[in-house]
Amino acid sequence: MALNRDFIGRTFPPSEPYEVSRVKIREFATAIGDANPIYRDSEAAKAAGHPDVIAPPTFPIVVSLGGPALLDPALGLNYAMVVHGEERFEYQRPLRAGDVIVCSTTITDIKSAGNNEMMKIETEVKTVEGELVCTAYNTIVERGA
Amino acid sequence: MAAQVKYDDVEVGTELPAQTYHVDRANLVMYAGASGDFNPIHWRESVAKAVGLPDVIAHGMYTMAQGGRYVTDWVGDPGAVVSYGVRFSAPVVVPDEGGADIEISGKVEEKRDDNQVVVALTARSAGAKVLTRAKAVVRLA
């Protein structure tokens, strides 16, 4: 089903603040099978020049899947038919334990590709102090019937 | 930053050692929990097949994470990653018995200013290219 083009350019209100914890970073690193000590051990992280453990490069997906932006019924997205098309993270600095972050999501494009609908979403991950840490660019595909 | 690979030691065309990462259903359940993506196509065969997939498939982001791990293991410091992006070109199909392998290789595609290099990645599973346009920009020592 065609997605509502009125959503192109729409920015959604920032998410509730999310505190990046050592425990969550460790859980995520374990889930991806990555034993790097810089994700687990503050001393190893400090030895590498970081103030505390940092998160794996793909960790921001935990907070940047688009969330409420995709659930608005007026958008017309059938979530059961959604697959991930593309993902890119651009970092200003690594995300680290102790960061309290908010995400603001903007739908930057919606277009048809054959029977599919493609939607591009941009999410800015900032600390509550306003420092931009990372921008996530996400393309999702709603498969046509 | 404590990248262990030196900018001066790599050239355009330098190949990274290939790696194979095994994935089974338990990994996908763990990833669902850690990422918050509980779409049942990643852990229920009946649901996956009902929407036209051959079997349970890995989260695209799980596969992307393996590519990330590949690059950060090479560089040494995950904090050296400046950007990382992929296109998901085919799913990694993960059978109940035996799981699947993801084979990843990479090479330095470009050298930039500020000690940055572009690493182009190739990821395959069961003969299919599962990531395309997979590139990481990393800042070397």
User: What is the interface pTM, i.e. ipTM, of the complex?
Assistant: 0.96
Q: What's residue A145's pLDDT? A: 64
Taking the C-alpha atoms of residue A20 and residue A71, their distance in angstroms, rounded to an integer, is 24
Residues B108-134: tens digit of each pLDDT: 999 999 999 999 999 999 999 999 999
Q: Report d(CA B21, CA A33) in Å as an integer.
A: 9
The answer to whether the CB of B79 falls within 8 A of the CB of A49 is yes
pLDDT in tens for each of the 145 residues of chain A?
A: 689 999 999 999 888 999 999 999 999 999 999 999 999 999 999 999 999 999 999 999 998 876 677 888 999 998 778 889 999 999 999 999 999 999 999 999 999 999 999 999 999 999 999 999 999 999 999 988 6
Q: Is residue A74 part of a domain?
A: yes
Residues of chain B found within 8 Å of residue A94, distances taken between Cβ atoms: 78-79, 81
Q: Nearest-CA residue of chain B relative to A27?
A: B34
What chain A residue is nearest to B70 in terms of C-alpha separation? Answer: A34
**Domain of A101, in residue numbers:** 5-20+55-142
Residues of chain B found within 8 Å of residue A31, distances taken between Cβ atoms: 27, 30-31, 33-35
Domain that holds residue B81: 7-22+59-139
Q: B81-112: per-residue pLDDT in tens?
A: 999 999 999 999 999 999 999 999 999 999 99
CB-based contact A119:A109 (threshold 8 Å)? yes
Q: Is the pLDDT of residue B1 over 50?
A: no
For residue B15 the two structure tokens come to: 């190949």
Q: What is the CATH number of the domain that holds A108?
A: 3.10.129.10
The answer to whether position A36 is within a domain reads no
> A88 and B81: CB-CB below 8 Å?
no
CA angle B48, B131, A40 (to 5 degrees): 90
